[in-house]
Amino acid sequence: MNALALALLVTLGATEQSYGPYARPERGGNHSIAVARNGALLAWSERDATGYARVHVLLLDASGRAISPLSVLPAVMPNRSAYVPSVGTDGESFLVVWEEVSGQQQTVAMAVDAHGIPTGAPRAIGYDKGFDATAYEPRTVTWAGSDYVIPFTRMRGVRVARDASINGIVNEPRPVPVAIANDGAEMSWSLLAVPTYIGGGFPYGARFGPPRYTLSFSVYHPSGGRGASEDMNFDLPSTPAIITHGNDFVMTWSARQTVYYRRMTSERSVVFADVDEQSRPDVACTAERCVIAYATRRGDVHAFAFDPATPDAREHFTVATSDRVEHEVQVAMLTGHRALITWRSDGNRLAGRVVSFGKPKQRAVR
């Protein structure tokens, strides 16, 4: 009998790519990557000479090298800092979304063309509001076929055109999607803290321990052809990273010493690991493989790859290990057989490494 086996043959780039050091803000200096036809756009937040943070963008090739000039995106409000950029793509050009914060807070977007060059002007796509916790949470930027969908809350969001102009408000009786499959299925998630009852009189005098968290995933299909949902309880999970995989979704998240991952249409898989619970794992996929990378509590970067059809068959490898502290890990599939794994190192250094994989081979199984 013959079976298709995944020959990973993991090869790490000989040296790390370095995109820094930079004057990163103490909080909100996250980076983001999106891959399009001409390359991968890397965006990050960096303080300028005046002390304000601005979003910087750079287009990378299939080897993780810069192929565009470094561009600094202007702020809508010059007296505010620009934090937590997120990058979305329609497959050709890009949309970069960030938060501008200084007492008040506003979500801003700007278009970047296929060659990594900013076009037009930055546009406010959210109302000015008082500072809240989302100042340091990157937005999800999802291409919906004709424009981008950007959630503000689980039930409210905005539709944004390629040129960063607003197409309309999303305010429907279902959650705003964070990923949209090829067949139109929409994925959303929520995380709810539930107090743990210990004892005592109820409701007065009741004693509660540390909360447990309910992590919920749900799928909605506009045609009504498919829907799914699942709730799971954890002591302290990270937020999930979710991507589209054909007509399905692949997601990953972490909890204490554990990395979880799954396709929505299959059971979840578990990797017991020394994962840093404060740094969310990330995932990227092609048709034949997925790569999940995460930071460890020791400050290193680890990863594993698997065939989505057989998710429990994994190949583990170490991406970075040093005396530095690496965290804020991101993964992007540059080609069908090359992944770029990036991370923030010692606060002010942005680094990355290209990982190459062998092609699947037909093997005889006796």
Regarding beta strands 81-89 and 179-180, do their DSSP bridges make them parallel or antiparallel, or are they unpaired?
Answer: unpaired
Beta bridge partners of 190: 216
The one-letter amino acid at 357: F
Tens of pLDDT, residue by residue over 58-74, are 999 998 999 999 999 99
In Å, how far are 73, 148, 164, 345 from 43, measured between CA atoms? 10, 18, 16, 16
Nearest to 42 by CA among 360, 361, 351: 351
Q: How does DSSP classify residue 298?
A: T
Tens of pLDDT, residue by residue over 126-137, are 877 776 666 778
What are the φ/ψ torsions at residue 226 (nearest 5 degrees)?
A: -155, 140
59/76 Cα distance (integer angstroms)? 23
Residue 31 predicted with pLDDT over 90: yes
Are the beta carbons of 304 and 317 closer than 8 angstroms? yes
pLDDT band for 14, please (50, 70, 90 cuts). Answer: low
293/301 Cα distance (integer angstroms)? 7
Q: What is the pLDDT of residue 134?
A: 65
Q: What is the pLDDT of residue 5?
A: 36
243: Cα separation from own chain's centroid = 8
Residues contacting 272, CB < 8 A, separation 6+: 257, 258
In this structure, what is the dihedral angle of CA atoms 216, 186, 167, 54, given to the nearest 10 degrees? Answer: 60
314/126 Cα distance (integer angstroms)? 42
Tens of pLDDT, residue by residue over 147-156, are 999 999 888 9
Residue 364 predicted with pLDDT over 50: no
Residues contacting 145, CB < 8 A, separation 6+: 180
Tens of pLDDT, residue by residue over 214-233, are 999 999 988 776 567 788 88
31/23 Cα distance (integer angstroms)? 13
* Residue 279 exposed, middle or buried by CB count within 10 Å (0-12, 13-18, 19+): buried
Q: How does DSSP classify residue 225?
A: S
310/296 Cα distance (integer angstroms)? 25
Residue 12: count of CB within 10 angstroms of its CB:
16
What is the rounded average pLDDT of the residues 46-69?
A: 92
